[in-house]
Chain A
Amino acid sequence: MSNKKEHKTRADLDREVWRAVARLKAGILGLVFGSIFGIGLFAMTAILLIENGPNTGYHLRLLSNYFIGYNVTWKGAFIGFLWAFALGAMIGWSIGFIYNRIANQKRT
């Protein structure tokens, strides 16, 4: 620790706390988004399956355009969980990564 740092006054420390800009943990953000997306899609699929009405999951099954193997079935729910988790993780990580890069760039 430098001497300069040791001689920071209370006002300096106050200012530093006030000015501190958060950094996002991209990995953790990815995990959070992935979990929400994955569990969310699994739950939505499961609810439709439990309700078991006519034309079950007519709209939700359109996700198969993006999630190969996904369908509104119990098996599809698990496959959907994996896909949605991966997509959410990618989105969360991307937001964290891009945010940190821009925040660091502005800082320097």
Chain B
Amino acid sequence: MSYGTRCWGEEFLLRSRLSRIHYNDHFFDYPLKLTNALIGLGIVEAALVGLSYAKTRLAPSLPETTFEQWVSNRFGQRLYKIFFKTYTEKVWGMPCSEISAEWATQRIKNLSLMEVLRNTFGANGRSKDGQVITSLIQQFRYPRFGPGMMWEQFESLLRDRGIETIFDRRVDKIWHRQGRVECIGVRSSTGETMKLSADQFISSMPLRNLIESLDPTPPEEVLRAAAGLRYRDFITVVLIVDREHIFPDNWIYIHTTDIAMGRIQNYKSWSPDMVPDPSKTSLGLEYFVSEHDEMWSWPDQKLIELGIKECAQLGFIEPREVQNGTVVRMKKTYPIYDQAREGNVAILQNYLDGLENLQAIGRNGQHRYNNMDHSMMTGIYAARNVVGERHDVWVVNVDSEYHEEVTPDRKRTVFAGAATEQREEDLELANVLRVALARLDPVALGLAVGIVCGFGLFFATAVLLLKSGDTVGPRLMLFQHYLIGYRVTWTGALVGLIEATVVGYVIGCVCAWFHNSFVNGYIFLIRRATEAKQRRDIL
């Protein structure tokens, strides 16, 4: 039973997943399904997509440094332009040719053989470390009133133990000395300031702000790396629509270029209880912007009007059905994966390694595009570290083996706890696979078949020679057509022994080679199929 189900029981609903892509008045399944995509595009476009794919497979763009190259090499340039380019550029506000391929590879990690086989042999869409392979999710658990329920529950648990949670405080200063953070300075929205001391500090604030808050100030190189981190901001326009049902999707990705909206979500599809009046629907229209964009500072009413207009343009609603609306602006929603991100984060991570009682967690804390589960995992690791365990919070969602021990030169390591059971299961699986997919040793099989053939012919000849007669072995002698120098004589028997051994050896080797090739081919095919499944869920 998952932690969420244990904590919230029936408040943790089992919901179906449905997401689609809207492109040129058509809906396409998401994750992408080839047949659905090709039917939706029409015969001519489908043929062009096929040709474009074939071209890219024959001449891929190498080396793969950008998102554009990475996706084009796997889907073809044409399909990339239809299903990836417009949406990705809406999200990131920059050309795909400037987005690092690292972003794609982080989301679609290279699958290990074990993971592929586990997936193929029915591991319920879970990878080896127990994480759900996202492209395979058909259903998911969701808190009845949204994820905020989780944080309220945590706060309540702390309160029950007499631990106070302080809200509405912005961290202004972080004072450190001799490799340890000593205290932090915080400010409330009313301007009230205070200093807080602690033994351990866990930061989920944006990495750039964290570095800029440090006192004494870090070296120039570190400050430069922090200043180089870029963010994408986010506006949600929420519309209350006087209609019971609009569409069943959780999300619809809007790829159509003349619509500014990037994605639209139906809160009712996440949980019906999130909309108190069942006769109405609440839609969240998502606009990916930057703080310095003009749109960021538009009045709420103007944004709501834009939302209504675009929803109507897409055919989801009639403008008169909208009863109310509100706008939520969220800064620094996405860390931008430009070409400099990896190097900058490495510098900052290295610097923060020097502060032994400070841990950076979460999407913004690590400037990494982690999903909520990965972000929460970094928090769980950090909490365990506080009580004496040793986990590397930075390797979550980077190294697929983040639960394994790593080399001692890294300060934080090892998450064993929950992984132990999984590991035992893996060992069992590995034992089964070792037998099921074992290769034949060509030399051993060649020698075995060779020896049996050689001695077989020798004994067959010898039996006839011992029986003797007028004409000995006229039929067996026919082997001389294939085995040079073979006769049904004692000398010929020895010649036959040697030659039949050689022929048998070759036959055995070839058989082993074919067997091994089929096993390798099978593994290759299922690996390709699993990777393809994951790639469909890249948005």
Contact = CB atoms under 8 A, between A and B. Distances in A.
Contact of B447 (A13, A17, A91, A98): A98
Contacts of A97: 448
Contacts, number: 96
Contacts of A103: 441, 444
Contact of A102 (B117, B441, B463): B441
A102 B400 contact: no
Interface residues of B, number: 39
A6 interface: yes
Contacts of A10: 112, 114-115, 128-129, 400-401, 404, 426
Contacts of B115: 10
A37 to B, nearest CB: 12
Contacts of B112: 10-11, 14
A49 interface: no
Interface string B409-440: 00000000000100110110010011101111
Interface residues of A, number: 32
A69 to B, nearest CB: 15
Given A10-B401, A11-B112, A95-B452, A16 B430 contact: yes
A97 B444 CA distance: 10
B113 to A, nearest CB: 5
Interface residues of chain A: helix, strand, loop or mixed (majority): helix
A84 B112 CA distance: 47
Contacts of B423: 6
A80 to B, nearest CB: 16
Contacts of B439: 20-22
Given A17-B114, A65-B463, A9 B404 contact: yes
B467 interface: yes
Contact of B438 (A5, A21, A65, A94): A21
Contacts of A17: 113-114, 117, 430, 433-434, 437
B123 interface: no
Nearest to B129: A10
B441 A21 contact: yes
Contacts of B448: 94-99, 102
B238 interface: no
A33 to B, nearest CB: 10
A43 interface: no
Given A17-B434, A17-B437, A21-B438, A99 B444 contact: yes
Nearest to A107: B441
Contacts of A102: 441, 443-444, 447-448
Contacts of B420: 6
B426 A13 contact: yes
Interface in A69-96: 91, 94-96
A9 to B, nearest CB: 5
Interface string B380-420: 00000000000000000000110011000000000000001
B475 interface: yes
Given A9-B405, A98-B444, 16 more contacts: A6-B420, A9-B401, A10-B112, A10-B115, A10-B404, A10-B426, A11-B112, A13-B427, A20-B433, A20-B438, A22-B440, A65-B464, A96-B448, A99-B444, A102-B444, A102-B448
7 contacts: A9-B405, A10-B114, A10-B129, A20-B437, A22-B440, A95-B449, A96-B448
Which 8 residue pairs spanning A and B have beta carbons closest together? Answer: A22-B438, A98-B448, A102-B444, A99-B448, A20-B434, A20-B438, A103-B444, A13-B430
